[in-house]
Amino acid sequence: MNIHQVSVTYHQEQDRLLVRISSHDSEELRLWLTRRMTLSLMPALTQTAADQLARQAEEIDPAAPQDVQRRRMVENFKKEALTYAGDFKTPYQAKEAALPQGKEPLLVTEVKLALLKSGKLQLDFNEKLPEPGRHVRIAITTQLAQGLLQLLNKCLKKSQWLKSPPLAGIQETPDKPETPDPTERPRYLN
């Protein structure tokens, strides 16, 4: 799949993230990510994307002349900067597209990550339900992996999944400072 755009949005009614991936061939993949799946995916995706970025950088030989070391460092910095230079201002273009997985988004129940020799990150999204499950496999560049991470992190903040939920039925009251008992001697901790 020749990926054109990726969109990640939080749907409060569903309490899920909808990932939409459009291709230059006018196809669109739609994936639902639940809270449990997203929170378990993020550490693995972050680590794998970091490994992908590290593979892209050239090793610097400490025995090489300093001008060669500096040039390699600058090249590595430029490569890393390119990965974070995604276009987040252009809105996702929802156009009539073929839906090879069907109109209903695939409910992701399993994700497999693998770094390919080409340097791309392969993502296998599986839907394992009682009915015949669906499967999507995509391979993304370093820049797209970093962009996907940024979109997922923005949606995590919006969803507030990382905050602990308030306890139902319990009203929080602010703690009032206790006034010391005037008859009690002060105690000190040394």
Q: What is the pLDDT of residue 167?
A: 58
- pLDDT band of residue 101 (cuts 50, 70, 90) is confident
Task: State the chain's mean pLDDT as an integer.
Answer: 82
Would 89 be classed as within a structural domain? yes
Would 171 be classed as within a structural domain? no
Would 48 be classed as within a structural domain? yes
Both tokens assigned to 33: 């990510």
Would 112 be classed as within a structural domain? yes
Would 186 be classed as within a structural domain? no
How many domains is the chain partitioned into structurally?
A: 1
3-state class (DSSP) for residue 152 = helix
Pairwise pLDDT comparison (159 vs 129), residue with the higher score = 159
Q: Domain span at residue 109?
A: 3-159
Q: What is the pLDDT of residue 189?
A: 55
CATH number, position 47: 3.30.2450
Q: Contact 40/113 with Cβ under 8 angstroms? A: no
Q: What is the pLDDT of residue 83?
A: 59
Regarding pTM above 0.75, the answer is: no
One-letter identity of residue 112 = K
Long-range contacts of 36-42 (CB under 8 A, 24+ apart): 37/108, 37/109, 37/111, 38/152, 38/156, 38/161, 39/161, 39/162, 41/111, 42/152, 42/153, 42/156
- pLDDT band of residue 127 (cuts 50, 70, 90) is very high
3-state class (DSSP) for residue 1 = coil
CA angle 81/155/35 to nearest 5° reads: 125
Would 183 be classed as within a structural domain? no
- pLDDT band of residue 181 (cuts 50, 70, 90) is low
Q: What is the pLDDT of residue 40?
A: 94
Would 187 be classed as within a structural domain? no
Would 179 be classed as within a structural domain? no
Q: Residue 42 CA to chain centroid, in angstroms?
A: 5
Span 136-179, pLDDT tens digits: 999 999 889 988 998 999 999 999 998 866 555 555 555 556 66
